[in-house]
Amino acid sequence: MLRSVKQLCGHKLGASDGELGHVKDFYFDDQHWAVRYLVADTGSWLTGRLVLISPHALGHLPEAGKVLPVNLTRKQIEDSPPIDTHKPVSRQYEEEYYRYYGWPFYWEGGAIWGLGSFPVLTEKSRPFAGEPGVVTGAPPPEPREVHLRSAQAVMGYQIQAGDEIAGHVTDFLVDDQSWVLGQLVVNTGNRFTGKKVLLPPRHVTRISWDESKLFVNQTQQAVVEAPVYDPAASAP
């Protein structure tokens, strides 16, 4: 089932042994359009620290107003690698994060989640060259480019269709099993009025941070005539 990312933001989070905080944002991979991390605001519990939670640790998405279960303890989360909110998430950080939890690397393998289409734990993550205790004669791997985007930041970006502006992104719909963003919700009018339509991410050819735009391989008319968004269809 597809769920509204905007509606999920603000949901309370519960670790296996107590309250955790609430959902602040989602980081998605703009190559596979999969949510790689939930950004949790821990509030006063960890003095306002933000932590990343992989879908590997998430239970079933709840109904509105319910607590989203996280299959981790508060101690595990407290001791997890901290993020620098002023810098992009690096692959080096991701490797450290995945090794900490012992999860398989999603970027290794041909599927969306590495070895499969869903964030199911099938094997432990593997160490990379240079990790203490690992003997290897190979040189350290070259840094790999990371394509993580903030869903909150992209909401509001304009849709550039050829030479025309076709609207702006107002929401994303995420599959509650694969955690893939299946649709963009686009407002074809201004920020407060206009028809909302659904646009599959496969039509996005480029995202520009500098211009706050998503470039698509569609005409303005094609975007305007896309299927109308029905909020009831994404309700739990």
What does the pLDDT look like over 62-98, one tens digit per residue?
A: 777 789 999 999 999 999 998 887 788 999 999 999 9
Say how many domains are in the chain.
1
Which sign, positive or negative, has the C-alpha torsion 117, 123, 127, 128?
Answer: negative
* Residue 56 DSSP symbol: G
Tell me what percent of the residues of the chain surpass a pLDDT of 90.
67
* CA atoms in the 13 A half-sphere facing the CB of 94: 20
- Asked if residue 198 belongs to a domain, the reply is yes
- Asked if residue 113 belongs to a domain, the reply is no
* Residue 223 DSSP symbol: H
- Asked if residue 25 belongs to a domain, the reply is no
- Asked if residue 225 belongs to a domain, the reply is yes
> Which residues, including other chains, have CB under 8 Å from residue 205's CB and lie 6 or more apart?
215, 216, 217
- Asked if residue 143 belongs to a domain, the reply is no
Q: What is the pLDDT of residues 18-55, one digit of tens each?
A: 999 999 999 999 999 999 999 999 988 887 788 999 99
E strands of 70-189, at which residues?
Answer: 148-150, 158-161, 164-175, 181-187
- Asked if residue 219 belongs to a domain, the reply is yes
Task: Extract the tokens encoding 144.
Answer: 């790999």
CATH number for the domain spanning 228: value is: 3.90.50.10
pTM passes above 0.85: yes
- Asked if residue 16 belongs to a domain, the reply is no
- Asked if residue 61 belongs to a domain, the reply is no
Provide the domain limits for residue 177: 151-234
Give the whole-angstrom CA distance, residue 60 versus residue 13.
Answer: 12
